[in-house]
């Protein structure tokens, strides 16, 4: 469990200081200490640990001598009450479990984002395919309304073949000429 000390240090009462910002935030939630913003107390005179100042929680995990543990002080006119834990191993295990849960949640969120992106791409490709199919259908309908193309037959003395030339509508602006060789009638 977690304990908020009025004076002394965690070591004085055989408790352990909290040396993780994430775990300090968890302790603040459990003890209903209010503000859970993490603040590292570099250069502070007090030992490393998690401190509660009034309705605010301070995280001094990067400060002082970690062996001494959190100690109550009045460095800035407000008494910093140490937040301690009763079993160091439990806190480490909990921190690992929290980290694992957060990693799993992050992986799930990443997987959901990838799935959403794939679905968006699939829908975009489907929309493009639908547009292409509509354009082909419209082209076929337009082609049916065009008059039949003119046919020309010319005799080539050597080959004795006729060349049929006709235009086929591909769009409203463009025509493609195709030549078919056939025997003259």
For the segment 132-161, what is each residue's pLDDT rounded down to a tens digit? 888 888 877 776 666 655 555 454 454 444
pTM greater than 0.75: no
- Write the secondary structure of 156-173 as one string of H (helix), E (strand) and C (coil): CCCCCEEEEEEEEECCCC
DSSP code string of 102-165: HHHHHHHHHHHHHHHHHHHHHHHHHHHHHHHHHHHHHHHHHHHHSPPPP----B-TTT-EEEEE
Q: Copy the structure tokens of residue 139.
A: 């082209």
For the segment 76-109, what is each residue's pLDDT rounded down to a tens digit? 555 567 788 887 666 566 666 677 778 888 899 9
Q: Copy the structure tokens of residue 176.
A: 């493609």
Query: What Cα–Cα distance (Å) separates residue 57 from each residue in 66, 80, 117?
Result: 18, 9, 40
Instruction: Give the residue extent of every domain in the chain.
Output: 2-93, 146-185
């Amino acid at each position: 469990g977690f304990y908020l000390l009025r004076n002394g240090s965690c070591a004085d009462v055989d408790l352990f200081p909290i040396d993780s910002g994430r775990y300090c935030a968890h302790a603040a939630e459990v003890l209903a200490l209010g503000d859970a913003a993490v603040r590292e107390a570099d250069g502070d005179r007090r030992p490393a640990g998690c401190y509660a100042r009034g309705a605010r929680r301070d995280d001094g995990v990067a400060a002082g001598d970690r062996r001494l543990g959190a100690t109550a002080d009045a460095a800035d006119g407000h008494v910093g009450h140490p937040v301690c834990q009763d079993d160091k191993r439990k806190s480490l295990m909990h921190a690992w479990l929290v980290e694992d849960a957060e990693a799993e949640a992050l992986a799930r969120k990443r997987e959901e984002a990838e799935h959403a992106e794939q679905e968006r791409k699939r829908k975009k490709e489907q929309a493009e395919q639908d547009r292409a199919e509509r354009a082909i259908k419209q082209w076929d309908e337009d082609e049916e309304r065009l008059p039949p193309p003119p046919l020309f037959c010319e005799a080539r003395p050597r080959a004795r073949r006729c060349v049929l030339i006709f235009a086929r509508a591909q769009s409203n602006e463009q025509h493609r000429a195709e030549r078919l060789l056939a025997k003259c009638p």
